[in-house]
Chains A and B, each alone.
Chain A
Amino acid sequence: MTALEKLKQLEPIQFRYKKELDPTQPLRAGFSAQQVQQVIPEAVMEVDGVLMLDMNVLKNYLRLAREELLDNASKS
C-alpha cells in the first residue's frame, strides 16, 4: 500500500481536549492516535500508556504522498 493510500485511510476529526486538559476547549483538528495506529503504526508512539502522533513519521508520509501526486499529475 502506498503512502498516499495509507494517508487516505486516516480519518481526520475535529475535537476538543477534555476540560481538565484544556479549560478553553477550542475546536481543534487532528486525528485519533488509536485510528492512526491501525493504519500507520510507526507514526504513533506510546509514552507511558499515552499515545502520541510522531509528526516526523507523518511528515515523511506526506512527502511521499506529495511525490505520488506530482507523479500522477505529470503522467496525466
Chain B
Amino acid sequence: MSWDWLKQGGPVSDAVGGGIDFFTAGLTDFDGRGKGDSNLFNPMFGGSDQKWGPESSKGFDFLDAYDAFKGGYSSTMGAMGGSSPSGSSFLNAYTSGKSQTPTTSSPVSTSSAFTAGGGTHTLGDSFLINEKPAFYAFKDNVQYPAVQQGSGSSGSSGSSGGGILGKIGQAVGIAGGLKAAFPLTFAGLCDIRTKTDISPLETTEVNDDLAQVAFFVKELRDCS
C-alpha cells in the first residue's frame, strides 16, 4: 500500500498526515510541515530546548553517565578500567595516615573454605591483611583438578602426571597440612613456572590481597 497520497497535499491528506504526525509525536512528517516542537515530547532527554530536562543547563547525557559509572567502577574495582585500580589510593593512605577499606574478594574465587571469615578488611594504618586465614595456593587452586589430585593424594608425587603441576598439587597437599597446623599462614602461589602471559603490571581482573600489594609496590616504584 502506497502512502504517497498523504504527501501530495490537499485538506484531507494534510489533516490525516498531521494527525499521524501528532500521534507519532513528530517521528513522521506526512503533512510536510516539519517536526515542529516534537522534540519537546521527549522528557528523558530534555528536548531540543531542554525544557523538559533537569534544572541544569543540559539534559540527561548518556556519555556523562557512562563516564561517571566507568570512573566509579575503575576506582573501586580496577577490573576493566584504569591502569592503577588501587595502588595510588594505598600510597595516599600510607603517606597521609588515613585508613582504607578496600574489598579483597576475588571475583573468580568460589572457594568458600578460604574466603570464609574474610571480607572487607583494612589495609591502611593497621595492615591487617592476614586477618583471614587465607592460603592463596588454596584459594586460587582448590577448584582445579590438578590441585585436587595433589591435595587428595598423601604424598604420591607422580599421581598428577608429574611435572610442575604435579609438584604444585603435592605442594598444595603439603600446604593443606600446614594450613591445618598454622591457620594464619598466608602464602601466595607465585612460582614463575605456574604463570603465562607475564608482563609488567598495568591492570588486573582479580583484586585480591596479592594484587593490592603488587599495586602498592608499583606505585612506590613509579613515585621514586
Of A7, A27, A33, the residue contacting B191 (CB under 8 A) is A33
In the complex, chain A residues whose CB is within 8 Å of the CB of B167 = 48-50
Contact: A48 with B174, CB < 8 Å?
Answer: yes
Question: What number of A-B contacts does a CB cutoff of 8 Å give?
Answer: 182
Of B186, B193, B211, the residue contacting A56 (CB under 8 A) is B186
Contact: B191 with A52, CB < 8 Å?
Answer: yes
In the complex, chain B residues whose CB is within 8 Å of the CB of A53 = 136, 187-190, 210
In the complex, chain B residues whose CB is within 8 Å of the CB of A12 = 200-201, 214-215, 217-218, 221
User: Does B16 make an interface contact (CB < 8 A)?
Assistant: no
Q: How far is the CA of A13 from the CA of B204 in the complex (A)?
A: 10
Contact: A62 with B216, CB < 8 Å?
Answer: yes
Of A27, A29, A32, the residue contacting B192 (CB under 8 A) is A32
User: Does B61 make an interface contact (CB < 8 A)?
Assistant: no
- Indicate the member of B144, B215, B220 with the most A CB atoms within 10 Å: B220
Minimum CB–CB distance from B182 to chain A (whole Å) comes to: 10
User: Does B205 make an interface contact (CB < 8 A)?
Assistant: yes
In the complex, chain B residues whose CB is within 8 Å of the CB of A21 = 141, 144, 146-147, 165, 168, 194
User: Does B13 make an interface contact (CB < 8 A)?
Assistant: no
Of B144, B186, B191, B221, the residue contacting A51 (CB under 8 A) is B191
Task: Look across to chain B and name the residue whose beta carbon is closest to the beta carbon of A72.
Answer: B95
Of A11, A15, A65, the residue contacting B196 (CB under 8 A) is A15
User: Does B6 make an interface contact (CB < 8 A)?
Assistant: no
Q: How far is the CA of A54 from the CA of B210 in the complex (A)?
A: 11
In the complex with contacts A29-B211, A52-B188, A22-B141 CB distance below 8 A: yes
B residues 170-197 in Cβ contact with A at 8 Å: 170-171, 174-175, 178, 184-197
Of A24, A63, A69, the residue contacting B127 (CB under 8 A) is A63
In the complex, chain B residues whose CB is within 8 Å of the CB of A44 = 190
Q: How far is the CA of A12 from the CA of B87 in the complex (A)?
A: 11
Minimum CB–CB distance from B213 to chain A (whole Å) comes to: 6
Nearest 10 A/B pairs, CB to CB: A29-B211, A33-B190, A29-B204, A12-B201, A12-B214, A55-B186, A53-B188, A15-B195, A26-B205, A50-B171
Please list the residues of chain A having a beta carbon within 8 angstroms of any beta carbon in chain B.
4, 7-8, 10-24, 26-36, 44-45, 47-56, 58-59, 62-63, 65-66, 69-70, 73
Given contacts A27-B204, A31-B214, 19 further A-B contacts (CB under 8 A): A7-B220, A12-B217, A13-B199, A13-B201, A15-B198, A17-B189, A21-B146, A22-B144, A29-B203, A29-B204, A31-B188, A47-B175, A50-B167, A50-B191, A51-B192, A52-B171, A52-B188, A54-B186, A56-B186
